[in-house]
Structure 1
Amino acid sequence: MKHGKRPTRNQKKSVIFAGLNPQNWLVFKKEGGQLHLVHRETGQTRVIPE
């Protein structure tokens, strides 16, 4: 699993806009206007626009 960090307030808004619960997702990379997320429990990854 990638080591993620808790999302900031602005990142939480992006996660909510993508239809995800920010309490379940961690940010492990910010790149090119995209957020790379990893799920806290399952380790599943997603890429959403920032």
Structure 2
Amino acid sequence: MKGFGLPPLEAMAAGCKNIICSDIPVLREVYENSVKYMNPYDIQDIKNVC
């Protein structure tokens, strides 16, 4: 599936607690509130989510 984003799902399966994703609609639809979102083009946003 294009744009599905398997790495966050794999991280969840591995027990990772702090998962960060790009803030795009498909990832918000799939992961809802299970991960943190950031704009990959905004350095301040990346710093804030970490």
Normalising by the smaller structure, the TM-score range is under 0.3
Which structure carries more helix by proportion? Answer: 2
TM-score (norm 1): 0.27
Q: Which has the larger radius of gyration?
A: 2
Which structure carries more strand by proportion? Answer: 1
Instruction: Kindly indicate whether structure 1 or structure 2 has the higher relative contact order, using CA contacts under 8 Å at least 6 residues apart.
Output: 1
